[in-house]
A and B are shown apart, each in its own frame.
Chain A
C-alpha cells in the first residue's frame, strides 16, 4: 500500500502571503497525484491533477509541482476563501487503488 504523508498538519499564513504545502509518497507515484480543497461541511473540490495541471475553473494562484515521491501545492497570494483543508491523493495504480494524505489545515495567521 502506498502511504501519503502531508506536512505540516497545520499551516498558519497571513492573507496575501504565499503558502507551500507538501505531500510525500512512500513509493514513486510518477505524476499520478491530485490535490483537493475541502471547506467545512462541503465535499472536496479538485484543484490539481497530474501533479501540476489545474482543474477547470481553478485560479492561477494555485500551482502544483513534483514527481516521484515529493510533491508541493503552492498558493501564491492567499485569499480569504483559500483557508481550508487540503488533501493530496495518489492514483498511480488506478483503477485498483487510491490513497489520500491525512490533510493539511491552512489557517489564518
Chain B
C-alpha cells in the first residue's frame, strides 16, 4: 500500500515560490507509478497541477505550466512541487497523489498553504 505525506511551509508571501515535498512509503518512486500534485482552494473543487513519471518525464496543467516544477528525489523516496510567483489565488490545500492508470489511487492527507504578506 502506497502512503503519501505532504510537508512544507504553511504560509508563503506573494511573489515568492511555494515549495512542498511528498514523502512516499510502501513503494519506490523509481518503480512504475506516476506521482502527482493536486490542489483545492478553500470551499472549491479540485485542480490537477502536474505529474511526474518514475523516469522523470513531467506533465503540467497548461494553466500553471509556466510557474510549476515537479521533481523526484530517489535517494529520499520523495517528490517535490515548486510553484513560483504565487498570489492569493494560489491559497489552497495541496495534495500529493499516485497512480498507474490515470485515476488517482492513493492520496496524501493534504497540506494547507496560505499566500499572504
A selection of 8 A-B contacts at a CB cut-off of 8 Å is: A1-B62, A43-B110, A91-B102, A94-B102, A95-B34, A98-B48, A99-B48, A101-B45
A34 to chain B: closest CB distance in Å? 4
> Counting CB contacts under 8 A, is B88 at the interface?
no
Report the Cα distance A24→B56, complex, angstroms.
Answer: 33
Report the Cα distance A42→B93, complex, angstroms.
Answer: 10
Selected from B59, B61, B107, the residue in CB contact (under 8 A) with A43 is B107
Question: Are A102 and B53 neighbours in the complex by a CB distance under 8 Å?
Answer: no
Question: Are A95 and B104 neighbours in the complex by a CB distance under 8 Å?
Answer: no
Question: Are B101 and A49 neighbours in the complex by a CB distance under 8 Å?
Answer: yes
Question: Are A89 and B104 neighbours in the complex by a CB distance under 8 Å?
Answer: yes
Q: Is the interface of B mostly helix, strand, loop or mixed?
A: loop
A residues whose Cβ falls under 8 Å from a Cβ of B:
1, 32, 34, 36, 42-46, 49-50, 55, 87, 89, 91, 94-103
Residues of A within 8 A of B59 (CB): 95-97
Question: Are B107 and A49 neighbours in the complex by a CB distance under 8 Å?
Answer: no
Question: Are B108 and A43 neighbours in the complex by a CB distance under 8 Å?
Answer: yes
Selected from A42, A43, A95, A102, the residue in CB contact (under 8 A) with B51 is A95
> Counting CB contacts under 8 A, is B47 at the interface?
yes
Known contacts A87-B46, A98-B48; is-contact A34 B109 (Cβ 8 Å): no
> Counting CB contacts under 8 A, is B89 at the interface?
no
Question: Are B103 and A89 neighbours in the complex by a CB distance under 8 Å?
Answer: yes
B34 to chain A: closest CB distance in Å? 6
